Structure formats: structure tokens, C-alpha cells
Amino acid sequence: MTIIKYVDAENNVTEVEAETGESIMSLAVNNMVDGIVGECGGSQACATCHCYLDDKYAIHFSEMSEMEEAMLESAPERTETSRLSCQLMLNDDTPDIEVSLPSSQY
């Protein structure tokens, strides 16, 4: 069983079983992980699914597109490890992953 671990800004941890075909955003939205909003449903229009993904986990996902990079550029609480979790797709080979969340998505 593969586990996706969400750590919010107050260090509250939610562990969710990964599902192939879901994104880290949609998995969060379907498991009441409050720190991820996902207003636009994954069309890279809102940046309300912002998360931090350490390099050691980032290698298991596709690289940032130009659009994702541009959306994140002006996102609040941007860091070097920022990603849009709607772009982090889970598949059968995804190992256990930990993402942390900003204090706010707005």
C-alpha cells in the first residue's frame, strides 16, 4: 500500500492511501485534507493546490511545465520546492510520498 502523507503548516499530518490515476490534489480533495483547495479542478488556473515537494520525491513526477512555473511564480509562500499538486499524478509505480502545505492557499 502506497501512502501519500500531507503535512500542513501546523504540522498536522494526514495519511492517505494512493490511488492510481489521481493527482495529489484530487486525492486530498477526496479525503478531506483541508489545506488543499483546488478551485479550478486541475486546469492550472488558480494555484490553490500549492504544495511543497522535496527533491527526493520530485523525481517520481513529471517536470514542471511552463504554465505551472508561471502560475507558481506569483503564488503566496512560494519556495524552491513549490509545485501545483494537481500536476502530480499518481501511478502504479509511485512510492510513498510526503508533501507539505503552505499556511494558506490565497
Q: Which stretch binds another protein (CB under 8 A): 4-12, 54-62, 70-78, 86-94?
A: 70-78
Mask for 25-64, x = binds another protein (CB under 8 A): -x--xxxx-x--x-xxx-xxxxx-----------------
Count CB atoms within 10 A of the CB of residue 1: 5
Is residue 1 close enough to count as binding another protein by CB under 8 A? no
Whole-angstrom Cα distance, residue 38 to residue 61?
Answer: 19
> Would you say the C-alpha torsion 97, 34, 70, 46 has a positive or negative sign?
positive
Give the three cell numbers for residue 62.
513529471
C-beta of 7 vs 37, nearer to another protein: 37
C-beta of 54 vs 69, nearer to another protein: 69
Whole-angstrom Cα distance, residue 72 to residue 62?
Answer: 16
Q: Any idea what DSSP says for residue 23?
A: B
Q: Which residues of the shown chain bind another protein in the complex (CB under 8 A)?
A: 26, 29-32, 34, 37, 39-41, 43-47, 67, 70-71, 73-76
